[in-house]
Amino acid sequence: MTRGLNRNHKRVVKDVFKAAATAGATRAGALQEWYQGLLARGMREELARVTLARKLAAITRHVWKAGVVYDAKYLTGQTQ
């Protein structure tokens, strides 16, 4: 079963979000707290990082499309 992006994805964009998720998971702040919450619920580390990368992509898209300023409240949702 294929997880993640399909074959015609943009490699650079994928790498940017993966790197952002790794950095967010290792540095103190709201992203690390959200990531730790996923781990506390029993999610595997690699799946938690992918989930964080997807969350970052969704937030980025929302901020871009809606033309709003980022707010940490965007991290709250189904996992918090």
pLDDT at 79 over 50: no
Write down the pLDDT at residue 4.
Answer: 56
> Domain extents for the chain?
11-75
What pLDDT score was predicted for residue 11? 84
Report the pLDDT value the prediction gives residue 74, as an integer from 0 to 100: 77
Tokens of 3: 């997880």
Query: Residue 1 above 70 pLDDT?
Result: no
pLDDT, position 20: 95
User: For residue 78, what pLDDT band results from cuts at 50, 70 and 90?
Assistant: very low
Top-confidence residue, 28 or 8: 28
44's tokens: 């595997």
Burial class (CB in 10 A: 0-12, 13-18, 19+), 2: exposed
